[in-house]
Each structure stands twice: as C-alpha cells, then as structure tokens.
Amino acid sequence: MDLYSDTRDVPFDSRTITRHRRGRFWRFVYGASTVVGIVVLILLLLNVINSVFGFSAIENRIQPDDLAINGIPIESLHKNDLVFILEQNLSAGLIRRLADDLPFEERSRENVYDLVIEWVVDPEVIASWSLFDSIFNRDRIAEEMAERYPAADLKFLSWLTWKFITTPQSSDPENAGVRTAILGSLYVIGITIVFSFPLGVGAAIYLEEYADPKRQINRLIQTNINNLAGVPSIIYGILGLAIFVRLLSVLTSGAIFAGSAGDATANGRTILSAGLTLGLLILPLIIINAQEAIKAVPSSLRLASFALGGTRWQTVWNHVFPSALPGILTGTILAISRAVGETAPLVVIGASTFITSDPDGPFSKFTVLPIQIYQWTSRPQAEFHSIAAAAIIVLLVLLLSLNATAIFLRNRYTQRL
C-alpha cells in the first residue's frame, strides 16, 4: 500500500491555511494596538498645539490710530508724548499706582509704550479659534467675524510667546504668564533634589553594599521600599499636609528662623513643604534605580579593592560609587522628571494658585507649572484652555530636556565603562 498516494493532492493539514490566516489577522491586531499607542501620543500633542496657535478676534478699547498726535503714529512717538497719552486716558489713581511701581522718568520708552498698549489700547481677545479651524475654515471665520465682531481685528497669534514665559500670573488670559510657576517649580525641585538624592543614594548603598539580606530588618526595608513605590501620589500629599504643613509648620513656615526672609502668612504651605513632600514621593524611585545601578558594577572591582586592603567605605566611595554614578544620575533624573509633573500632592498640601510675585526663598508661598495648568484647565473659558496648552508646552519642553540629559548621560558614560 502506498502511504502517500491518497494525500498527495490534499494538503496534509487542511487547517493550515486557516491557522495562518488567523495568525496574520492577530498579527495585524497586535500591530494595530501598538499603532493606537503612537496615534494617541500624536493626538495628545496635536490637541495641545491646536489650542496654542490660531486666529483670535481682538478688540481694542481705543484704536491705536486714534491716539496719534499730529499724525505721528504711536509707534514712533517720543516717550514724553506717550506719558502724556497715559495721563490723558487713565484715571489719576492708576497713574499714581504705575508711578509708584517705577516713576515714569526712570522707565524706558519701550516700557512706557508697553503701558500704553496694555492700559490705553487695552486689546482684548473676544473670540479665538483653534489651529485647525484657522487653517481649514478661514472663510467661515471671516464670515463670523464680519457678522458678530465687526469692530475687531482678526490676528493669527500664538499664546506661547516670550512674554508668556516672563510675565507673572494674571486674571486676564492675555496678560497671564508662567514666570512665577516656572520659578516655583525650579525652587521646589531644587529642594526635592537636595533632600532626596543623598538620602536615596545612601539608602541604596546601604542595601546593596552593607546590608545582610538574611537579616529581618533589611528584608523589611527592601519590601517596604517596593511597596512605597506603588502608593498613589495623593497619599503622599495627605502625609505632607499632616506632617510638613501642620506638624512641622514652625519649621516649614520659617517661623523658627525669625528675622530671615520668611513669609509668615504661608503657614507651612511653603516651597519647603512641597519640596520635602515630593522628595518623599520620589525617594523609593531613586533608591530602586540607584540599587540597579550599583548592582551592575562588576564585583571584581570590589574584590580588587578589598585585596589591596581597602576598607568597605573606601571601596564604595572610590570604586563602586564612581562606576555606578552615571546609572544613578540617569535614574535620579527620571525620578525628578516625575516630580516635576506631579500635581495632586501639591494641590493637597495647599499650593497657592494665584501668586503674582516671584518666590523669594524656601519659606514663601508657591505655585508650580502643573498647578497652573490644572487651574487654567478647570476654567470654562476657551482662552484659559489656550494658555493652559501653552503652559503644557513649556512643561513638556522642560521634561524633554531633563530626559534628554538622562539619555545623554547614559550614552556617554556607559560606553566608557
């Protein structure tokens, strides 16, 4: 009997084709889920960019042309004429307030010109359109402008400007900026680093180089760190509220250092409390990352050092730590970029939302970039959403540069080892 004659023309497994078809189908599905992830990232960015740029209808309280003196437009007027315009159009009280800030004699011409634009011309955005609308629906926008805002100018503007970055907070979206928020973020992160980097690295060195893993206490510490890494950030906010803001308010409000530049009104809701809270939050991350970096140091380095009579600390300080440093720094930077974006714990410990003066030390009230974004997003008006989007871009750029530094460090130093 010929075993093969019957099956030669039929596939030996009639299900093969279906099986392969099913394989291709699912391969497509898996690929598609990956694409979804990337598409979402792109949508996220587009959505932000979409609200930052676009046409805006701007209405001036007084047209700049009407302010021209003897036919000279205000752009080319002398400073004294500009001061004259201010005095003509503004109330005496306001003039006195501006002069109190800085006398007109000491102001530059540009500065006075800006005042004229801000207070006299007083441009106000009465409607704004998103970038995609501005590009694809220009005709409709023009129609709507003619119909509803005949007196307004249509201008393509970006909410993200140099002025946005350098001016402090304002209740008016056109004049609002993120200066105080950026400074607040930097102060808070500074304190976070000072607090958590030495502690985190110290703990990692202890766990990797000194601790006997058989001892109960060391195992407890390790498990505990792993669990802390999974605690939601808002819990740290509650902890910060109870410990730093309330219990240690004498310390964190700066009252204990009487005479220093403390802001007693902040009652513990200060930059110091925020920095310490975020420090506790990222401590487990720093420890875990640093432990990984220290583990990666080959043990031959340690043994060589011991063989030459080095003590444990000499070995750690002169050999293990320098070798592990790039890894530790990378991990720390990643942990810090987490802290930069944290919002919830800072809301809970009571970040102030409306601050116009720069923070002047660890004991002043503060606001940070994510809090600003949260605040502006929570407002119903579209203009606030636009400046929230502009602030998001600032935040993302800050984070991106942090991450780029981390990648740079990783690439540069890992090759040398």
Partner 1 sequence: MTKEIHMTAVQTDNEDITAALRRKPRFNEIVIQSFLFICATVSILTTIGIVYELGKESMNFFLKVQWEEINKTLAEPLSETDGVLLTGTSGAAIAEGDLIRIDQEQMMVLSTSDLTLEIERGVNNTGIAPHSAGRVIYLARDVSLLEFTTGTRWSPQVGSFGIWPLLNATLMTTVIAMVIALPLGLGVAIYLSEYASDRTRNTLKPIMEVLAGVPTVVYGYFALTFMTPLLRLVFGADTVSIFNTASAGIVIGILVIPLVSSMSEDALSAVPRALREASYGLGATKLETAIQVVVPAAFSGIAAAFIVALSRAIGETMIVAIAAGAGPAFTFNPFQSAETMTGHIVRISGGDLSYDSIDYNSLFALGLVLFFFTLGLNVVSQRIVRRFREVYE
Report how far residue 120's alpha carbon sits from residue 87's, in angstroms, rounded to the nearest whole number.
Answer: 10
Whose structure tokens read 């004659």?
5
Which of 227, 333, 335 is CA-nearest to residue 278?
335
Q: Print the binding letters for residues 53-92 with partner 1: x by CB under 8 A, - otherwise.
A: ----------------------------------------
Q: How far is the CB of 413 from partner 1 (least distance, A)?
A: 19
Residue 343 CB, nearest approach to partner 1 (Å): 5
In the complex with partner 1, which residue's Cβ is closer, 126 or 344?
A: 344
Contact (CB, 8 A) for 61 and 120: yes
What is the Cα–Cα distance from 347 to 370, expressed in whole angstroms?
Answer: 10
Interaction residues for partner 1, span 119-148 (CB under 8 A): none
Q: How far is the CB of 234 from partner 1 (least distance, A)?
A: 5
CA distance 66 to 327: 63
Residue from 68, 248, 251, 399 in contact with partner 1 (CB under 8 A): 399
Q: Which of residues 156-175 bind partner 1 (CB under 8 A)?
A: none
- Contacts (CB under 8 A) with partner 1, residues 240-259: 241-243, 246
Restricting to residues 7-26, which ones interact with partner 1 according to CB under 8 A?
Answer: 19-20, 22-23, 26
The residue within the footprint of partner 1, chosen from 366, 370, 394, 409 (CB under 8 A), is 370
Q: Which of 103, 230, 259, 309 binds partner 1 (CB under 8 A)?
A: 230
Q: Give CA–CA dist 23/125, Å, rounded.
A: 56
Report the C-alpha gap between 89 and 71 in whole angstroms.
18
Q: Which residue lies nearer to partner 1 by CB, 318 or 378?
A: 378
Select 242 or 417, whichever has its Cβ closest to partner 1. Answer: 242
Asked if residues 275 and 342 have their Cβ atoms less than 8 Å apart, the reply is no
Beta strands in 73-152 (DSSP E): 124-128
Q: State the CB neighbour count (10 A cutoff) for residue 136.
A: 10
Q: Which residue in 56, 192, 253, 343 binds partner 1 (CB under 8 A)?
A: 343
Helix 179-205 with 271-295: angle, nearest 10 deg: 40
Nearer to partner 1, 60 or 253 (CB): 253
Least CB distance to partner 1 at residue 153 (A)? 26
Spatial distance between the Cα atoms of 173 and 333, rounded to a whole number of angstroms: 33
Cβ count within 10 A of residue 312: 13
> Considering the rule CB under 8 A, would residue 322 count as an interface residue with partner 1?
no
Out of 342, 365, 394, 409, name the contact with partner 1 by CB under 8 A.
Answer: 342
Size of the site for partner 1 (CB under 8 A): 87
Question: Is the Cβ of residue 95 or residue 344 nearer to partner 1 in the bound state?
Answer: 344
**C-beta of residue 239 within 8 angstroms of C-beta of residue 280:** yes
Q: How far apart are CA 79 and CA 230, in angstroms?
A: 60
| Of the candidate residues 220, 261, 264, 404, the single one contacting partner 1 (CB under 8 A) | 220
Query: Considering the rule CB under 8 A, would residue 397 count as an interface residue with partner 1?
Result: no
